[in-house]
Structure 1
Amino acid sequence: MNILIINSGSSSIKFQLIAMPDEKVICSGTVERIGSEDSMLHYKTDTAAIREKCTVPSHREGLQKIADILLYPENGALKKSGEIDAVGHRVVHGGDSFAQTAMVTEAVKEKINEFSALAPLHNPHNLEGILITEQLFPKAKQIAVFDTAFHQTIPLKARKYAIPNEFYDEHGIQSYGFHGTSHKYVSEKAIAYLKKEKSKIITIHLGNGCSMTAVVDGKSVDHSLGFAPSNGLIMGSRSGDIDHSIIFHLADNLGYTLDEVNTLLTKKSGMLGLTGFSDLRDIEAEAEKGNVACQMALGMNAYRIKKYIGAYIAAMNGLDAIVFTAGIGENSSRMRKRICADMGYLGLQLDDLKNETWSSSLPEINTDTSKVKILVMATNEELEIAKQVYQLQSR
């Protein structure tokens, strides 16, 4: 079965064509920096590799580029669109409506659209991906895999907010959790690596969007994102945790409309608001040149993550390993070093050489005497989605 995986993020689209159940990747690629003038298309198969600078003003154009290159006469992986049996879509917010992977129907699309208000940077792009691939690959089954599903195990004491109960009971206002596909995938890899029957792990997903999960015995028990994917850690353009009084101050005293406040906190804040850059590679390069704003932003980012590590150790009453993953977590040794600095009291000791030279076969970057394992593990949300799509199709 050929399964095309579409993973639409806030500023990128990752895709893989995977033959299941063999888990053979036929081709893969990414459209990066969507909406900027220096968008990039990466595409590779066993016999071809393409890296192309292009203009991709929106996710719609990005998805069209992906469809075009899959069918490209010289390097494309497909001869015709009918060779795709199913398309698996990462969908960020499923609320309480979807605890499992779901076949896409009109009702499912309506629900995804309904939750767009809670995940405005993601659900609209996820839904658009479904609508476009329905047109591009009409014979394929469309299947949605929800980021929120993995976090259904978070206990009520960690999910509820301290507001009147009717908002939870009648309106479902609670912490849902996100990036669940990634946290599930790397936590399972970490558990297999540790070979421990019982385990306490913190998974740290760092990309343009960022989140952390406390995982006990393979189950999510707490998570840094909440009702919508906007709080918690400092992100590319999202503020993360903020005193809600600031929102009222912006509206009541500074003349902002609620739409303007939402745009400010989700699209103009985070690392972008602090530095003028949203891509960590640019920020680290500027920091190396002496840019004080970039240096401060990197320090703030690491400090926020360190606080969550401490909180989750307390919540789990222990820790066996922390796991860095996603674009920044896997590729920025400098960010990993900032986060792990001065954490010896909690049992985390980073090995600088291992940190610089880690590989998938040698994921440990801690010292031999560190009480806690520090692991770097490449996430593969696409493979996890393919597994879930195949399981649904095989029932």
Structure 2
Amino acid sequence: MLCFVLLLVGALSQLYHFSRSCLCSNMWKYKACECDKYRKGVIDGSACSSLCEKDTLYLGKCFTAKPNSQVYSGSWGDLEGVIKCQMEEAPHYDLGGDMEPRKEAATFSKPTKGTSVEKFREMIFNHLKAKVGDQANLADLATQVLSIADANKDGHISLPEARSTWALLQLNEFLLALVLQDREHTPKLLGFCGDLYVLDKVPHSPLYGISLPWIIEVWIPTGLRRSMDQWFTPSWPHKAKISIGLLELVEDIFHGTFGSFLMCDVSVTNFGYNDRHDLKVMDARYIVPEAIFQEDIRQQRCDVDEDCLYGADCLTSCDLTKHRCTPEVTRPNLAKACEALKDYILRGAPSDVSEELEKQLYACIALKGSAEQMEIEHSLILNNLKTLLWKKISHTKDS
């Protein structure tokens, strides 16, 4: 029986790696296409010369799970990073897909020839306003975008640089990196070429557990999978620090500097941490601006509440009188974060905090409605959890 299981796992692994290699093989066509656009002056960016001329931007292991969105480990000179790119045009999003309007960006048709820097700034400002709402300091965010657009830092923004920046602006992950650039929770943007971009490498992922190919994962019983996950975790003080990082992320994107964001997939595979045990977002495609989420969910036709689900975790209710989804999510970010942390942080917790920690986590998981509707309770639970964890590790070197 054991031999059969080993043979099955081996066969599934071969099939998985074959399917993965087929997905990844398109990258060379994509690279050739991007470099052709670069040489023709359609796109430009700080990584283009390294990718297309010097061959110093190296594509390593492929982590792709979808044919139209590819992720690679990579190196750029002495820097280790992660390289992300979109492989093909996608139509305007709906709630069943990625909330990423890619069609306009993929053609690199905007801005048009003759557009002034001031007109480009206005385009950026209006796009950001549509994404995150009418925030008081959007002009500051637009200025940050213009600074990034000047990829070669010559004090001028060329049309290819502007088109590449506009393409990147369509991506939630790039937008979140801008919004949280002064915080430690998102990897730093190292460079870009067209809508290919390079981020800092996050050394440890997923948040906890062991990462297995999906084709093997489906054969492992849920109970055994949970046990396996718990074998591959840091020490409890380190887990506490990582958990505080996730709570701080929730804090940063709720009524943050540039509006509120919704965490629509709070699975452990979307997060990692560095050697100092600082939490890092690995995949931010499902951290979406609340303003654009609410605008689009209202247009979604529904017959039951389940029709109003985006990602794994952003669920609203169905208004049966109109057969349209309501805009308010049923659970706040904090409740979803606490649910993701529950088994992780309770296992191995010191006896003098485990009971109170469990009580606080279950109170957190029970939160319903939007965070805005329960702002005081939301803030109280978040602060209590952070204080409890910090109190236990603040006197140790792990803090």
Which has a greater percent of helix? 2
In the superposition, the TM-score normalised over structure 1's length comes to 0.29
In the superposition, the TM-score normalised over structure 2's length comes to 0.29
